[in-house]
Amino acid sequence: MNSLSIAPECLLLSLFLLSLIRPESAQAQVSPADAALSQDGPRAAIESYFKAHALGKDEFITQAFAPEAKIQFVEGDQRKEWTRDEFATRFQQPAADEYRRVRRIQRLDVSGTAASAVLTLNYPQVLFTDHVSLLKTDGEWKIVSKVFSVDRRDVAKEAIKETLRDWMLPFEPTGIVGNIYYVGSNMISSFLIVTSAGHILLDTGPVEMLPQVIENIQKLGFKPQDVKFLLNSHGHFDHCGGFAEFKRRTGAAVVASKLDGELMTRGGKGDFYWGDDLAYEPVKPDRSVADGESVDLGGLSLTAHLTPGHTKGCTSWSIRVNEADKDYDVLFLCGLTASPYKLTNNEKYPNIVADERNSFRKLRGMRADVLLASHGFYFDLAGKAARRKPGAANPFVDPDELRRHVSEMEKDFEEALLAQETPR
């Protein structure tokens, strides 16, 4: 809420990471009839209330709430109450961190001319939960009561470190298919592509994970100094936080998309979702790749496919490799998680919805015999690695996995979009 003057602070990283593992946990449980979703249904009143927050304008409060409405705040033994007009005075201007404030309809139930809803207002420092009641009078829905509570987040760096520790547990390096090896942690991916002219490394994880990546490369019998290209999936610290140090040690050329390369050059600062919270040592790419361009080494070619949405320059990579005299199309998926983001009225990333939908469309038209991704849980790394046996069918080969994954993520995205306020 604007009037509370909540300063931007570090988000609780574990909440976002959990949404990556189980995207359905971030989905709104919207259960309305068709009328509830129409512009003359109760949702219209809720969206006016949301717009009051987004725009910082009291006029939307008077549109959304009935004149006799009561607004109550409950936190422990603290109780406060406002009339509609008193509450409206709290909305004077948009908050400075509006681009990080995500509002959702978590539940909406309609019975005749009465409705109830559960709303969440997810801000960097606090999570508000609103329980609202609505009535339809003279053909118009109005909010007649609102009771809200707050979960205050005292987010310390130690909490982030603890989460990273859980995501950077050692994982035995393993062959995936052909000349592709996994050298990352239990949760954060790093891939080594071996060629006769040197090697390619895709992502390093955060700088804290770099020693593990280097050790895994050496365990496989390869030398980190032989890595010629350091490729990026996207510019978040948990994927490229170790780039600057790895480049110093090996001299590998850093390759990234233009937009995520700019984010990497800023060390992750100015991110459209994280702000400056999850910064890392800046690194300037040696080469910028556009959609469809390739990185070639030792007779192999990795093609860049821009799949923005999770970040503005999110880059998936494809390659064809051979194993046991058979060719396989391999896709390294950047990531499609966008449901935790502010999808509507986002001035920092106004085209996020179009980008995400275009990425779904592009990926549905691609073929992948083997789907890999920036996090191991996306492609069941642990399960498939355990089933990988000499002479047996390669469990990483699953030509239908990309379609299934895209469908799941698209459903998650569209449900999250439906739950947020409509574009203004």
Asked if residue 359 lies in contact with residue 308, where contact means CB atoms within 8 angstroms, the answer is yes
Active site residue 405: no
Q: Which of 53, 199, 305, 375 is the catalytic position? A: 375
> Domain check: are 140 and 191 in the same one?
no
**Count of CB atoms within 10 A of residue 64's CB?**
25
Give a yes or no: residue 350 inside a domain: yes
Q: Let me know if 237 is exposed, middle or buried by CB neighbors in 10 A (0-12, 13-18, 19+).
A: buried
Q: Which of 53, 199, 236, 405 is the catalytic position? A: 236
> Domain check: are 180 and 325 in the same one?
yes
Q: Tell me, what's the pLDDT at 249? A: 97
> Domain check: are 199 and 293 in the same one?
yes
Give a yes or no: residue 397 inside a domain: yes
Active site residue 305: no
Secondary structure element (H or E) that encloses residue 364, with its range: helix 352-364
Give a yes or no: residue 174 inside a domain: yes
- β-strand 253-257 against 287-289: which pairing, if any? parallel
> Domain check: are 222 and 278 in the same one?
yes
Place of tokens 């068709």: 34
Biggest distance spanned by C-alpha atoms of the chain: 77
Residue 387 sits in which domain range?
169-419
**Count of CB atoms within 10 A of residue 85's CB?**
13
Q: Which of 53, 234, 305, 405 is the catalytic position? A: 234
Which two three-digit tokens encode residue 390?
A: 């000499």
pTM score > 0.95 for this model? no
Give a yes or no: residue 158 inside a domain: no
Q: Which of 273, 310, 349, 369 is the catalytic position? A: 310
Active site residue 131: no
Asked if residue 252 lies in contact with residue 265, where contact means CB atoms within 8 angstroms, the answer is no
Three-state secondary structure call for residue 208: helix
> Domain check: are 205 and 148 in the same one?
no
> Domain check: are 262 and 399 in the same one?
yes
> Domain check: are 145 and 194 in the same one?
no
Positive/negative CA dihedral, 290, 293, 295, 301 = positive
pLDDT one digit per residue (tens) for the chain, 424 residues: 333 332 222 333 444 544 455 443 334 444 433 333 444 589 999 999 999 999 999 999 999 999 999 999 988 788 899 999 999 999 999 999 999 999 999 999 999 999 999 999 998 888 999 999 999 999 999 999 999 999 876 554 666 778 888 999 999 999 999 999 999 999 999 999 999 999 999 999 999 999 999 999 999 999 999 999 999 999 999 999 999 999 999 999 999 999 999 999 999 999 999 999 899 999 999 999 999 999 999 999 999 999 999 999 999 999 999 999 999 999 999 999 999 999 998 999 999 999 999 999 999 999 999 999 999 999 999 999 999 998 899 999 999 999 999 999 999 999 999 999 876 5
Give a yes or no: residue 160 inside a domain: no
Active site residue 234: yes
Q: Tell me, what's the pLDDT at 32? A: 38
Residue closest to 360 by CA, chosen among 380, 343, 384, 336: 336
Give a yes or no: residue 157 inside a domain: no
CA atoms within 13 A of residue 307's CA, in its CB half-sphere: 30
Distant-in-sequence, close-in-space partners of 241: CB < 8 Å, separation ≥ 6: 204, 205, 206, 207, 208, 209, 268, 280, 281
Beta bridge partners of 78: 75
User: How many residues in the chain?
Assistant: 424
Q: Which of 239, 260, 328, 405 is the catalytic position? A: 239
Give a yes or no: residue 402 inside a domain: yes
- Domain holding 137: CATH number? 3.10.450.50
Residue closest to 314 by CA, chosen among 231, 409, 208: 231
Select from 120, 152, 184 the last residue of a domain.
152
Q: Which of 203, 238, 260, 271 is the catalytic position? A: 238
Which two three-digit tokens encode residue 121?
A: 């207002």
Q: Which of 49, 182, 341, 349 is the catalytic position? A: 341
The domain total for the chain is 2
> Domain check: are 148 and 190 in the same one?
no
Q: Tell me, what's the pLDDT at 6? A: 29
> Domain check: are 307 and 210 in the same one?
yes
Give a yes or no: residue 263 inside a domain: yes
> Domain check: are 337 and 224 in the same one?
yes
- Domain holding 218: CATH number? 3.60.15.10
> Domain check: are 62 and 175 in the same one?
no
Distant-in-sequence, close-in-space partners of 243: CB < 8 Å, separation ≥ 6: 204, 230, 232, 254, 264, 283
> Domain check: are 213 and 126 in the same one?
no
